[in-house]
Amino acid sequence: MTTFEKLVIPETLAAGPGPGNTDPRVLEAFASSGVADHMQADVLRGMKEIKLMLREMFGTENVYTYAIAGTGWCGLDAMQNAILPGDTVVAFNNGTFSGIDCQTIRMKASTPEDLAANPLMPEPANVHVIDVPHGTSVSGEMVEAALAEHKPMWAFMSHWETGSGRINDLRGFNDACAKHGSMGLIDAVSSLGIEDFSIDDFPAVVGWASCPQKGVLGLPLTYAPVSFTDAYIDLVKKRGCYSYVHHPILAARHWAIVDGQDVEAPGYHQTHSCYAIASFHEALRLSLEYGRAQKAKDYAFHESILSDAISAMGCKVTSNMTSLVVCNLPDALAGREKELVQGCRAEGFCIWPTLSEPVQVRVGILNQLSEAAITEIVSKFADAMIKMGANHIDKAAVLAQIKARFADAA
Ligand SMILES: *Cc1c(COP(=O)(O)O)cnc(C)c1O
């Protein structure tokens, strides 16, 4: 048998779309938890408290608010499990992630014949995917037009599309769903914990799913927050779904949610990890201590400074998310985006290209809400561009401008 060296993973500056740098308090909670099984009293108390904190994070009274073990896609899978073969769906695709969501929806809404005809990307006639160009937000008018035409049972949209850095119109989506009697499903992976919004203000959206590594910053435990309205749960109760582990009703039992109510004694669903529970609990405590409104304000402020600095270096910013800047390089460097990103990543400055066409550069600020962090990110980005020949950049002037912006705000 081969024996490998002990795996050592270096500390990098995670300045991409996600994951963000995990707070030391979250890591400390992870590492200092005692070993305790999934039915131990404090683990179960932690789960109940997590459930209550998630209701605050989401701004909801939905009893079915809890978390699915795994990454963002696990929570999305649980949410999309309510879609059964033959259901009519309108789904909006405006980038990498909503594109994968649309792929999932096509699979779930397929009949066995649809699936056999194209197993990885089935094209059931009952699913209408509306392709919105990269870099464009999904507008309320687009949703209204598509729902008026197709009158689907379900409508799906990503709240914030991380592939292109675009914010989609949640209000317009909700209103169109209400008007046309569609049940709305939202991918809130990139917005929860960053934007200040309450899901109960969007009652036509019946299902929400987020993730552990972007706004919520609980990476070590990987729990994907979800929330479902009674209408959603009633439908699943009536029709069932094709999953045990990601079943929206069965998974909730371990969080002490049974028959639509919070109960004292949870029921076993799967072996939840005490380390995961301890660290996720701490991640939520951190977020709520910071305050949803304050955090949203701080993200907007820091992103505007980063975005202006990147523009000052001759890049064209095409995003409007407040945790991420997506940009085109100046004409002189056009076509060399991947080279720039690879050079940065090789030095532990982990930015990203876009994962679907067109190729752009993505620089993010998850958990980097300080003058020092923004200055470091801009400084490293400037160095990388200068190294590739962008001699027009006046790095000192760009950094001075950042300093002035923070001084003004102080
Ligand atoms: C990151 C992301 C996902 C996937 O999350 P994972 O944690 O990688 O599973 C899905 N949707 C959106 C909008 C995202 O930003």
190 C-alpha to ligand 1 centroid (Å): 7
Give the binding-site residues of ligand 1, using a 6 Å CB cut-off: 18, 71-73, 97, 158, 162, 187, 189-190, 211, 213
Instruction: Identify whether 7 is part of a domain.
Output: no
Look at phi and psi of residue 319 and say left if phi exceeds 0, alpha if psi is from -120 to 50, else beta.
beta
373: left (phi over 0), alpha (psi -120 to 50) or beta: alpha
Q: What does residue 192 show for φ and ψ, rounded to 5 degrees? A: -65, 130
Centroid of ligand 1 to alpha carbon of 399 (angstroms): 32
In the prediction, which pLDDT does 218 show? 80
pLDDT for 379 equals 98
What is the residue with the minimal CA distance to atom 6 of ligand 1?
72
What is the per-residue pLDDT for 2?
Answer: 86
Distance 16 CA to ligand 1 centre (A): 13
Domain-terminating residue out of 256, 288, 320: 288
203 plus 307 within the same structural domain:
no
271 and 304 in a single domain? The answer is no
User: d(Cα 341, Cα 363) in Å, to the nearest integer?
Assistant: 10
Beta bridge partners of 156: 91, 185
Half-sphere exposure of 380 (CA within 13 A, CB side): 22
On whether residue 1 sits in a domain, the answer given is no
CATH of residue 141's domain is 3.40.640.10
Structurally, the chain folds into a number of domains equal to 2
Residue 3 maps to a domain: no
* Single residue among 238, 269, 288 that ends a domain in this structure: 288
Q: If 0-12 CB within 10 Å is exposed, 13-18 middle and 19+ buried, where does residue 43 land?
A: buried
Closest CA to ligand 1's atom 4: 72
Do residues 336 and 380 both lie within one domain?
yes
Atom number, ligand 1, closest to the C-alpha of residue 76: 10
Asked if residue 405 and residue 342 are part of one domain, the reply reads yes
Q: Please say whether the beta carbons of 187 and 207 come within 8 A.
A: no
Rounded to whole angstroms, how far apart are CA atoms 195 and 213? Answer: 15
**CB neighbour list of residue 135: distance below 8 Å, 6 or more residues apart:** 164, 166, 318, 326
For residue 8, being part of any structural domain is answered with no
Regarding whether 307 and 238 lie in a shared domain, the answer is no
In a domain, 98, yes or no: yes
Task: Determine the pLDDT at residue 55.
Answer: 98
- 305 and 397 co-located in one domain: yes
Ligand 1 centroid–CA 215 distance in Å is 11
Q: Which of 266, 288, 310 is the last residue of a domain?
A: 288
265-271 contacts: CB < 8 A, separation 24 or more? Answer: 266/39, 266/44, 266/47, 266/48, 268/38, 268/39, 269/245, 270/38, 270/69, 270/245, 271/37, 271/38
Does any domain span residue 177? yes
Burial classification of residue 308, based on how many CB atoms lie within 10 Å of its CB (0-12 exposed, 13-18 middle, 19 or more buried): middle
Measured CA to CA in angstroms, residue 353 lies from 15, 125, 132, 270 at distances of 12, 33, 20, 37
195 and 212 fall within a common domain: yes
* Residue among 68, 211, 222 to mutate when testing ligand 1 (max atoms within 8 A of CB): 211
**Residues 251, 364: one domain?**
no
Q: What is the pLDDT of residue 221?
A: 77
pLDDT confidence of residue 222 = 85
Range of the domain at 136: 24-288
Same domain, 80 and 112: yes
CATH number at residue 377: 3.90.1150.10
Asked if 223 and 363 sit in the same domain, the reply is no
357-387 residues labelled b (16+ CB within 10 A) or e (exposed): eebbbbbbbbbbbebebbbebbbbbbbbbee
Q: Is residue 2 part of a domain?
A: no
Would 243 be classed as within a structural domain? Answer: yes
What pLDDT tens digit does each residue of the chain (410 aa) get? 789 999 999 999 999 999 998 999 999 999 999 999 999 999 999 999 999 999 999 999 999 999 999 999 999 999 999 999 999 999 999 999 999 999 999 999 999 999 999 999 999 999 999 999 999 999 999 999 999 999 999 999 999 999 999 999 999 999 999 999 999 999 999 999 999 999 999 999 999 999 999 998 888 778 999 999 999 999 999 999 999 999 999 999 999 999 999 999 999 999 999 999 999 999 999 999 999 999 999 999 999 999 999 999 999 999 999 999 999 999 999 999 999 999 999 999 999 999 888 899 999 999 999 999 999 999 999 999 999 999 899 999 999 999 999 999 98
Cis-peptide, bond into residue 353, ω within 30° of zero: no
Whether 28 and 79 share a structural domain: yes
CA of 212 to the centre of ligand 1 (A): 9
Task: Name which residue sits closest to atom 9 of ligand 1, judged by CA.
Answer: 72
Say yes or no: 311 and 177 in one domain. Answer: no
Nearest CA to ligand 1 atom 5: 72
